[in-house]
Chain A
């Protein structure tokens, strides 16, 4: 199933299946909470009767396809019991199905407050925010759903993964987007939508797929094919796709940059040339500076790395990889105090990056700050383990779904 983003809808049937999944999860979390909560001691029997009647009528209306009436009846039930999670889910689901995203968002937001540990709820909230255009809120909710999990719902997981990736592309977090998209490739999904998203990542185009200008579509697809092959480690295919891309678009700095990144593991000298070419075409290409600095650091050419890393930090002070490489270069040059400052800033910018905590732990170690080094090392270990668990879950907990937009009830 491959629906355009503009018309992305999740059918009511899907959402009802999701409800079942969520309800199971909810019951698993709390054996005392039934799908239809038992009357509480402080509610009157009259209220209970009214609630049960409203729910029954709402279910009947929903099953008969009278969705507007169902929403009204569920809303009546929620007035009696505002903390009834399933009611909010039904209301949100029906509103979502009718493209009433602000109303759906409000319902899922209420539910998220009631049940903050249910990944599918955050996923739906994120998708609503996406449809409304609240992209920052959307990506936060979507990432939260990814970190909690989807109670086994592969379709919603796939849709959320895709939307998370394209939002990171929009926010120019291309490396994060690449890692998320790689999860699709690792489970065998390299459909057109995935290729397109990879293309935007490779070309570092901060656009949602629907906003790609027609005259760039061919380039996006070609770059996407290179990206998919690179992510799948099909090196010959990737090399061939990059060669075509470079030949057809020799004046695009990001083409040279992506080709350079690909070549880092194959031929680092060629990578340096490609990054240099990117800088010739776009002298303020900050990622190319960072990559070159990392390569020089690897080669112990600290004095070559230093000006590139410093300039990269100057150009984009909030990009933590630049802080990482600058801090590490300074450490090797014996400028421990400066190194610590850069790496501390990197950790502040990327508190969940194990690489940053590792680098800072080493800098503290060199500075003789044992307590600080111990703290950072513990943080590194915790994050590394968390990353590994997420990575394992992404690889083993998902089926090779081809869906990117519309969860399937099966």
Chain B
């Protein structure tokens, strides 16, 4: 059988590909300001996006400034996150001994919550407790054991392997990784322009030389549906390549949108079902359900209208707010947050969460 997939000229060849989680050693970034000189529109609202805010500088942290003192008691362990000037300190004590460090890396924008990557005795730790907006307080970090820790060290947090540290900083910052090494001195907080598009230097030079710019910069928008969703975006938002993680995640996997959408009957290589078909990564996330109706109607007929030959069937029930039924919100109690389940489906009343 002859393949009938996407013609190769549409996608970018392997040498042009950019993988935010695999930054080659020695890569130099020019920074957002250089991009903003030409790309004014995208740059104007980008700082309000979740990706830009994937990591907060501690000295300017909204979460830590608005919540200057956070406390939690777990068994004999008392946790405290306390603001002092432009710094915040994460402490845990069992009443006899105390571990306390300044917070250097605050991961997450605070829309759901914020977790801290801590450094102690030359090791990186994931904080055992995180801030959650819904409760305006601390609770166990998602994935942490939800019991009384066995020791002060365990109460402090989970020691991260070098590979995990690289994962944290490659998805929450730009320029913090070079090859397989950390370079925190060059880190820019959050996922910036070059986080997704790759280094801008050659692109700027090409444009200034009068050459077409698109040849010298990576554009994820030109990727095919499956490639964008399951590889590029899934690099951080998690796809099915991480089976071992997903298998143990159960309900937690609602957080991993590429994995969930892969389950959908309408999933395909079509660009109308890829991540950027619904989400503009340069703009803040749209939370009004009606905004997404037009995305569904790109393929599906509208109720009451005749179904064209190449159209998918119409919804027999409603004409608007499709996602409220077909992509239900799932409450993840451990995250104190309702996530949109990206497994697009006809949800049956009372059905168990389909893994």
Dominant SS among interface residues on chain A: helix
Which residues of A have CB within 8 Å of B198?
none
| Bound: A302/B247 CA distance, A | 27
Q: Which residue of B lies closest to A297 (CB)?
A: B241
**A301 to chain B: closest CB distance in Å?**
9
0/1 interface trace, chain B 265-294, chain A, CB 8 Å (1 if under): 101110000000000000000000000000
Which residues of B have CB within 8 Å of A161?
none
0/1 interface trace, chain A 358-376, chain B, CB 8 Å (1 if under): 1001100111111001100
Total B residues in contact with A, Cβ cutoff 8 Å: 36
| Bound: A190/B6 CA distance, A | 51
Answer whether residue A45 sits at the interface, using C-beta atoms and an 8 A cutoff.
no
0/1 interface trace, chain A 149-181, chain B, CB 8 Å (1 if under): 000000000000000000000000000000000
Answer whether residue A377 sits at the interface, using C-beta atoms and an 8 A cutoff.
yes
Q: Which residue of B lies closest to A236 (CB)?
A: B159
CB < 8 Å: which of B14, B163, B250, B354 contacts A300?
B14
Q: Which residue of A lies closest to B166 (CB)?
A: A268
**A185 to chain B: closest CB distance in Å?**
14
A381 and B161 in contact (CB under 8 A), knowing A300-B22, A365-B268? no
Which residues of A have CB within 8 Å of B243?
354-355
Answer whether residue B3 sits at the interface, using C-beta atoms and an 8 A cutoff.
yes
Answer whether residue A60 sits at the interface, using C-beta atoms and an 8 A cutoff.
no
| Bound: A391/B11 CA distance, A | 39
Q: Is the CB of B247 within 8 A of A336?
A: no
| Bound: A332/B227 CA distance, A | 9
Q: Is the CB of B163 within 8 A of A385?
A: no
Which residues of A have CB within 8 Å of B226?
362, 365-366
CB < 8 Å: which of B3, B6, B14, B265 contacts A332?
B14
Which residues of A have CB within 8 Å of B225?
365
| Bound: A377/B3 CA distance, A | 19
| Bound: A369/B230 CA distance, A | 17
Q: Is the CB of B262 within 8 A of A377?
A: yes
Answer whether residue B4 sits at the interface, using C-beta atoms and an 8 A cutoff.
yes
Answer whether residue B355 sits at the interface, using C-beta atoms and an 8 A cutoff.
yes
Which residues of B have CB within 8 Å of A264?
163
A interface list, Cβ under 8 A from B: 235, 264-269, 298-300, 302-303, 332-334, 336-337, 340, 354-355, 358, 361-362, 365-370, 373-374, 377, 381, 384-385, 387-388, 391
A sample of 22 cross-chain residue pairs with beta-carbon separation below 8 angstroms, ordered by A number, consists of A235-B161, A267-B180, A268-B180, A298-B22, A300-B17, A300-B19, A333-B14, A334-B8, A340-B3, A358-B240, A358-B262, A361-B262, A366-B6, A366-B226, A367-B3, A368-B3, A369-B1, A374-B265, A384-B355, A385-B354, A387-B247, A388-B250
